[in-house]
Amino acid sequence: MIKDSANKQSKLAINGGKPVCTTKWLAWPTFDNAERKQLLGVLESGEWWYGGKVRQFEAKFAAFQTARFGVSCTNGTAAIEMGLRGLGVLPGDEVIVPPYTFIATAAAVVTVGAIPIFADILPGTLCIDPDDVERKLTPRTKAIIPVHVGGYVADMDRLNKIARKHKLRVLEDAAHSWGTQWQGWGTGTLGRCGTFSFQVTKNITAGEGGILVTNDEALADLCRSYSHCGRRKGSAWYDHDYLGSNLRMTEFQAAVLLAQLGRLEKQTLKRQASAQILDRELQDVPGIRLLTPEPRMNRRSYHMYIFRIEEQTLGVSRDRFLEALVAEGVPASKGWYQPLYGNGVFRNANQGPANGISAPFFGRGVDYTKVHCPVCEQVCRDAVWIPQNVLLADKNTIRLVAQAIQKVVARAGQLH
């Protein structure tokens, strides 16, 4: 049932009515004197490269996620690649990934020479479906990468059980889940390791940057070696015992991230409280489908608030619904996800001539044109995303966001 507050406006803003929200939303990224002080400290120290600030941030962020070890790097994509290599994923291995995620989840698999196998997602969580994971297992399967979409934790209990049974590695793509906890444990510690991104849109950001967290010291050391030109702990500077790359985070990035980390918990709790208001206000609205409650997830970071619309119930397309919602002052979008296998890098991956960039699967018998994940495809047609900076608004403003959604639902007939 739609509350009366949604019916006070007789005309949608898109049709000339008054918009519900006139708020100037918080710009992102946000910063204050904490970042200035940290950056100036690095600048004046002359120690700009891979030193104390990096180590300090790694330790603090790992502890924030309830992990023992953190290995920083240039970005979240590099963190996934580093983790896969550290876990022993080799060329020709198969790695099961969801198709509802950023390209990096699957691209990192290709970069290490392995083959992404797409398992569908669950309609109520938007995370990988453990049943479909089991259906996609083959003798070549080496690992699973669950993605915690929008900070919502994939069913790690089921996924770890599958992994133990089949001797698989689990690497969490936790790029949206800084501060999210599952039964008291931070994401990134629920599998063998987990990776995070600090790209500019993220809830904690230095423009770019990434980190891998784990409770496995040997894995952490191996990943550190890979990010640090193959150097081993305690070895001489020009001894390169392992294959490595140069993926080091700078002191300037670490300085910004230390400042951002200082306010992350407060912001996480604020976003969660805002999402709870939206859940309460929208739970009985016809045509609006919320994600399934998950009691094992005792804290959630909310990189975005996602709900789905039922086009048949509302009699309007998701895209037209979005146009009306944006006109009401809510900066919503359909999100940037499409099924990953629909991207050219996969759709055309086996078309020659052979090239590691344009045709990475040429001659390997891999054909992604036959892949079909119906739940993911439907979600890409009906999901609505509200970005994380909106969730930092005050309670009354968040209620206006709910009222704007209610108004569009109540007046959907005006959109024809």
Q: Which residues carry out catalysis? A: 102, 173, 176, 199, 202, 231, 238, 248
Bridge partner list, 143: 95, 169
Cβ atoms within 10 A of the Cβ of 149, count? 29
Q: What is the CB-side half-sphere exposure of residue 132 using CA atoms within 13 A?
A: 22
User: How many angstroms separate the CA atoms of 382 and 375, rounded?
Assistant: 11
Cβ atoms within 10 A of the Cβ of 112, count? 18
Structure tokens at 98: 């969801």
User: How many angstroms separate the CA atoms of 187 and 185, rounded?
Assistant: 7
**What's the chain's Rg over C-alpha atoms?**
22
Q: 98 with 121: CB under 8 angstroms?
A: yes
User: DSSP H helical segments within 8-147, as ranges?
Assistant: 33-45, 52-64, 76-86, 104-111, 130-135
Kindly give the interhelix angle for 52-64 and 251-282, rounded to the nearest 10 degrees.
Answer: 20
Cβ atoms within 10 A of the Cβ of 234, count? 7
Between the CA of residue 378 and those of 158, 250, 369, what are the distances in Å?
24, 41, 17
CA 293 to chain centre: 19
Query: Nearest-CA neighbor of 38 among 313, 193, 253, 244?
Result: 253
CA dihedral 344, 349, 350, 351 (to 10 degrees): 50
